[in-house]
Amino acid sequence: MRRRQLIGWLGAAAALPALQAIGQGAEAALPRGPVRLVVGFPAGGGTDILARILSAKLSTLWGQPVVVENKAGAAGMIATGEVAKAAPDGNTLLMGHINALGIAPGLYPRMAYSAERDFAPVVLVGKTPQVLLASRDSPAPTLAGLLAACRAHPGLVSFGSAGAGSAQHLALALFEQRAGVQVLHVPYKGSAPMVTDLLGGHVKFAFEGMTTAMGLVKDGKAVALAQTGARRASALPQVPTLAESGFPGFEASIWFGVVAPAAMPPALVRRFNADLNKVLAQPEVAARLAEFGAEEGGGTPQAFAAYIHTEQRKWAQLIRERKISADS
């Protein structure tokens, strides 16, 4: 009898670690082979830079390559559509972007992917405010002066943007709505040609992402009138937010986050989330991201999923109310 009890106790003791691991959610094994972190924009841009910071740290943490792969085109939608169809084995991740995951669902009635159903959110990498810029020769190099000019000359004050339906365009549309003004929107095919014309004085104002705007402001090539985050970015502390400048609740951040194909096993999503949170918490990573205004990263997959859903509803509503199209 005692022998049978001893065998039973030994068997139970041997099984205990496995049972505890199951109960606590055993850490998923990493995928075999290199992990692709797909970016929907060209090398050297803000999204690409952030992705390469993360990939280098993950490669070290995992002891295996994490390779950034650029699939530029259609404001990130080409890369997003490709990752939506990728095998959910952990070998393919996407550096998701507000354009393809937050704005496109409200802008395009038909897409090659469903932003709501085809992805498993992993973690928010960061939110970057946009900066309201004025050209150096602008006759209204202050927010008050800009508002006065817009009200005195409705539909004539020129604003460039990176393109119709871009995050920059929607920040402008939100500004028009909240300020009760009408401006002349001049869409370009990307930020680079828009910035060229802003510096040349061909357009007088623009909303632009922090990555590009910071260099222009530091070099004295453009004037920063306001920023669009909920609070001032640490990299631009002297520039007030629109929320504190008479437009409470105004926020039009450009955000980035890692997502995976929807059918990825939940345990692997949790593993990626935990490891990315470790990377984002490293002081040198946080400092590098803050240089580009990318803050507030980290958190759970559920929190990121809720944030994406909120952004989709917010921008879809603005697109409907302002009758914005990809051609406007």
Same domain for 144 and 179, yes or no, is yes
Q: Which of 227, 242, 273 is the last residue of a domain?
A: 227
Same domain for 175 and 263, yes or no, is no
Residue type, 311: E
91: CATH: 3.40.190.150
Q: Is 328 within the bounds of a domain?
A: no
pLDDT of 307 strictly over 50: yes
Same domain for 214 and 260, yes or no, is no
Report the C-alpha gap between 133 and 138 in whole angstroms: 10
What pLDDT is stored for residue 16 in this prediction? 37
Contacting residues for 129 by C-beta, under 8 A, at least 6 apart: 210, 227, 228, 229, 233, 236, 241, 252, 253, 254, 293
Q: Is 8 within the bounds of a domain?
A: no
What pLDDT is stored for residue 20 in this prediction? 37
Report the sign of the C-alpha dihedral through residues 132, 136, 142, 143, in that order: negative
pLDDT in tens, 255-300: 999 999 999 999 999 999 999 999 999 999 999 999 888 999 999 9
Q: Is 239 within the bounds of a domain?
A: no
Q: For residue 194, what are the domain limits?
A: 130-227
Q: Is 40 within the bounds of a domain?
A: yes
The mean pLDDT value for 8-17 works out to: 40
What pLDDT is stored for residue 26 in this prediction? 61
Q: Which of 212, 227, 242 is the last residue of a domain?
A: 227
Q: Which of 192, 227, 262 is the last residue of a domain?
A: 227
Q: Is 138 within the bounds of a domain?
A: yes
Q: Nearest CA to 132 among 234, 231, 223, 245?
A: 223
Same domain for 142 and 97, yes or no, is no
pLDDT in tens, 224-266: 999 999 999 988 999 999 999 999 999 999 999 999 999 999 9
Q: Is 295 within the bounds of a domain?
A: yes
What pLDDT is stored for residue 211 in this prediction? 82
Give CA separation, 70 vs 36, 80, 247, in Å. Answer: 10, 11, 37
Same domain for 138 and 216, yes or no, is yes
146: CATH: 3.40.190.10
pLDDT in tens, 90-105: 999 999 999 999 999 9
pLDDT in tens, 197-209: 999 999 999 999 9
Same domain for 222 and 307, yes or no, is no
Q: How many domains does the chain have?
A: 2
Question: Among 6-10, 52-56, 295-299, 315-319, whose mean pLDDT is lowest?
Answer: 6-10
pLDDT band per the 50, 70, 90 thresholds, residue 9: very low
Same domain for 119 and 159, yes or no, is no
Q: Is 9 within the bounds of a domain?
A: no
Same domain for 120 and 143, yes or no, is no
pTM beyond cutoff 0.85? yes
Same domain for 274 and 223, yes or no, is no
pLDDT of 142 strictly over 70: yes
Same domain for 195 and 277, yes or no, is no
The mean pLDDT value for 14-21 works out to: 37
Q: Is 272 within the bounds of a domain?
A: yes
What pLDDT is stored for residue 10 in this prediction? 40
Same domain for 208 and 62, yes or no, is no
User: Residue 180's CB: how many other CB atoms inside 10 A?
Assistant: 9
Same domain for 283 and 298, yes or no, is yes
